[in-house]
Amino acid sequence: MKIKVSNVTKRYGELVAVSDLSFEVGKGEIFGLLGPNGSGKTTTVKMILGLHDADSGSISVDGTDPAEDARQVKARIGYVAEDSILYASMTPRDTFELIAAVRGIGEEQLNERINQYVVSLDAREIMDKPISTLSRGNRQKAEIIAALLHKPPILILDEPLSGLDAKSVRVFKEILALHVEDGGAVMFSTHILEVAEELCHRICIINAGREIATGTVDELRERSASAGGSLEDVFLKLTEQDTSVDEAVRVLRAGRS
Ligand SMILES: Nc1ncnc2c1ncn2[C@@H]1O[C@H](COP(=O)(O)OP(=O)(O)OP(=O)(O)O)[C@@H](O)[C@H]1O
Ligand SMILES: [Mg+2]
């Protein structure tokens, strides 16, 4: 087992951001954490990384509690954050060299890995430009490469697709598939449900910090009684947003006249 979240609750003052949440992500698995805006995905991810402490419940990453040894946990995880965590004034090349120094990656290995990702993600021309000057998608490519460089067994990716162009999304999907083929584990959050449907072996849907359902897309379909529906239909139904979409459309249409 790679990631185990057991009955975790996290409050920010009065607000319960995550409530009694449990799930597991195993070796060889691509696991999707889906939920509307503000439902607790990023909070959950940050607790797994040891960036936030849970108020109750427990988390283990390959047997280590991130609240006790965040350093050990981070060494095993490649993390793409929701908001950029790279230094804006550094270039991707400087950033990758810094990561290599911290993670003990030799020069030859580093160049090999950089070359592989730079070629596959068309990132050669961004290597020597300050990150602050890069376009949204190109900055995201630098974030992704930075997360992959130390070949971590676990990838935790919070909205990793934001800004990526069609080709990069295709390549990114391949990177994830190869990662789990090699025995790694992936957990990611996304609002792009077509990608989740295509990639995830299992999905956990949360709403207002609570687990609504966990399972394969087929199992979720069964749970929501929307046979033949897309994951988007299933998601809207399980999070009880399907009727509010109808209402939103009605309001918008009424506002035209
Ligand atoms: N540092 C914080 N202080 C206070 N409240 C916070 C903090 N971080 C998150 N929250 C609140 O916790 C709830 C869950 O937020 P979180 O960022 O985990 O949601 P999310 O599912 O990642 O949403 P999104 O899809 O928009 O990224 C929200 O109500 C948010 O406003
Ligand atoms: Mg988030």
The residue among 38, 36, 42 whose CA lies nearest residue 232 is 36
Percent of the chain surpassing pLDDT 70? 100
Cα 127 versus chain centre, distance? 24
Mean pLDDT, residues 61-88: 92
Atom 2 of ligand 1, nearest CA residue: 12
Contacts 24+ apart (CB under 8 A), 227-234: 230/193, 230/194, 230/197, 231/193, 231/194, 231/196, 231/197, 231/203, 232/193, 232/194
Mean pLDDT, residues 110-118: 95
- Cβ–ligand 1 distance for 190 under 6 Å, the answer no
The string of pLDDT tens digits covering residues 4-20 is 999 999 999 999 999 99
Contact assessment for residue 129 and residue 52, using Cβ atoms and an 8 Å cutoff: no
Mean pLDDT, residues 173-190: 96
- Cβ–ligand 1 distance for 113 under 6 Å, the answer no
Q: What count of other Cβ atoms lies within 10 Å of the Cβ of residue 218?
A: 10
Looking at 188-192, 193-197, 222-226, which range is the least confident one? 222-226
Q: How far apart are CA 123 and CA 142, in angstroms?
A: 8
- Cβ–ligand 1 distance for 141 under 6 Å, the answer no
The string of pLDDT tens digits covering residues 205-253 is 999 999 999 999 999 999 988 778 899 999 999 999 888 888 999 999 9
Atom 25 of ligand 1, nearest CA residue: 37
Q: Which of 42, 47, 212 to mutate to test the pocket of ligand 1 (most atoms within 8 A of CB)?
A: 42
More confident site: 202 or 74: 202
Instruction: Please check the confidence at residue 40 and state whether its pLDDT lies above 70.
Output: yes
Tell me the β-bridge partners of 31.
Answer: 187, 202
pLDDT the model gives residue 166: 95
Average pLDDT taken over every residue of the chain: 94
Instruction: Please check the confidence at residue 97 and state whether its pLDDT lies above 90.
Output: yes
Instruction: Please check the confidence at residue 136 and state whether its pLDDT lies above 80.
Output: yes
- All residues with CB under 5 Å from ion ligand 2: 41-42, 82
Which two tokens mark 24? 């597991």
pLDDT the model gives residue 227: 74
pLDDT the model gives residue 1: 57
Which two tokens mark 18? 């995550």
In the reported structure, the alpha carbon of residue 35 is separated from the centroid of ligand 2 by a whole-number distance in angstroms of 9
Q: Which atom of ligand 1 is nearest to the CA of 44?
A: 18
Which residue segments constitute the domains of the chain, with CATH numbers given?
3-76+152-256 (3.40.50.300), 86-151 (no CATH)
Q: How far apart are CA 108 and CA 92, in angstroms?
A: 17
pLDDT the model gives residue 245: 87
pLDDT the model gives residue 6: 98
In the reported structure, the alpha carbon of residue 30 is separated from the centroid of ligand 1 by a whole-number distance in angstroms of 23
In the reported structure, the alpha carbon of residue 79 is separated from the centroid of ligand 2 by a whole-number distance in angstroms of 13
The string of pLDDT tens digits covering residues 149-167 is 999 999 999 999 999 999 9
Ligand nearest to the CA of 239: 1
In the reported structure, the alpha carbon of residue 17 is separated from the centroid of ligand 1 by a whole-number distance in angstroms of 7
Which value, to the nearest 10 degrees, does the dihedral of the CA atoms of residues 243, 244, 249, 255 take?
130
Q: Supply the DSSP symbol for 153.
A: S
Atom 3 of ligand 1, nearest CA residue: 12
pLDDT the model gives residue 195: 93
Cα three-residue angle 215-219-225, rounded to 5 degrees:
130
Please give the full DSSP string across 46-92, using - where no structure is assigned.
Answer: HHHTTSS--SEEEEEETTB-TTT-HHHHHHTEEEE-SS--S-TTS-H
